Amino acid sequence: MNAREKEVLNMQLVLIPILARAWGKSYAELSDVLKKYDVLSYIDVCYENYNSLGNQGIIDDLEDYIKMQGVDVR
């Protein structure tokens, strides 16, 4: 695993409890959302941009990403 992959994984792990709280989901429910909408891959793609956003900016972007797929996560 290279340095970028480790940093992306760290970001994904840090975001899990933040997203669960923000979206009012249990970890099991959040896991289903993350898998169904391939959110972890999207975080990888957006990693560099997310480094300049705060948590709320990332949450908002992920919500927009999922909404574009026809679902409201809240």
**Residue 12 CA, distance from chain mean position:** 6
pLDDT digits (tens, 9 = 90+) for 17-29: 999 999 999 999 9
Does residue 31 sit within a domain?
A: yes
Residue 74 belongs to some domain of the structure: no
Range of the domain at 43: 3-67
**26 in a structural domain:** yes
Q: Please state, rounded to an integer, the average pLDDT across all residues of the chain.
A: 96
Burial 33-70 (b: 16+ CB within 10 A, else e): bbeebebeeebbebeeebeeeeeeebbebbbebbeeee
Residue 73 lies in a domain: no
Q: Number of folded domains in the chain? A: 1
What pLDDT was estimated at residue 12? 98
| Domain-embedded: residue 72 | no
Amino acid (one-letter) located at 74: R
Query: Is 14 part of a structural domain of the chain?
Result: yes
